[in-house]
Amino acid sequence: GTDIINNEKYMTSYEPVLNADGEIQYIMFAGISIQNRSNNMTSITIAVIVGMILSAVIFIVLMTLFVITNVAKPIEQMVRVTKNISAGQIGISDPSTVNITVKEQNEIGQMGNSLSATVASLQSYIKEIDRVLSALGGGDLTADTNIEFIGDFAQIRDNISTVAEKL
């Protein structure tokens, strides 16, 4: 229950302590000031709320760093490379224009690896076309492609072979 002790309200509990014969020897009293308890609960509540807010802020900062490192930077690299490719820079004269460094093994990593493979194929085709046309231009009418052109690029190989045969 509650009692007033020294003009202050307390939550109290009384329990009789019995002797061996079952007679009350004394009464055990326990009490806590309601005001002190209320102040303690308010302090604890504020501490818990502040702790939760700090934890949330730390979590948000860590997630932001994770996203920047593992998502934004690789995508920025791929955007830079695709812009360079569309501007005719496929890394033959300056390999840094198409350099992609992606460590992730997720979809972004797969996309980066696929773009790197595409760039390597384009470089190979352009170098081979340059080699054959330079040889033909230099008078070597036996020049032909030495690499396999795949997919839609096979038509280019066929056309190079046709030009070489006609000369």
Distance of CA 81 to the CA centre of its chain: 20
Residues 6+ apart with CB under 8 A from 33: 8, 9, 10
Look at residue 167 and tell me whether its pLDDT is greater than 90. no
Q: How many CA atoms lie within 13 A of 108 on its CB side?
A: 18
pTM (whole model) above 0.85: no
Residues 6+ apart with CB under 8 A from 128: 145, 146, 147, 149
- The arrangement of strands across the sheet holding 24-33 comes to 2-5, 8-18, 24-33
Render 41-95 in DSSP notation, one character per residue: HHHHHHHHHHHHHHHHHHHHHHHHHHHIIIIIHHHHHHHHHHHHHHTT--SSS-G
pLDDT number for residue 54: 97
pLDDT number for residue 102: 83
Q: Which residue has the tokens 């690789």?
A: 74
pLDDT number for residue 114: 93
Look at residue 152 and tell me whether its pLDDT is greater than 80. yes
Look at residue 103 and tell me whether its pLDDT is greater than 90. no
DSSP state of 18: E
Look at residue 50 and tell me whether its pLDDT is greater than 90. yes
State the Cα–Cα distance between residues 57 and 39, nearest whole angstrom: 27
How does pLDDT run across 105-140, given as a tens digit for each residue? Answer: 889 989 999 999 999 999 999 999 999 999 999 998
How does pLDDT run across 65-80, given as a tens digit for each residue? Answer: 988 888 888 899 999 9
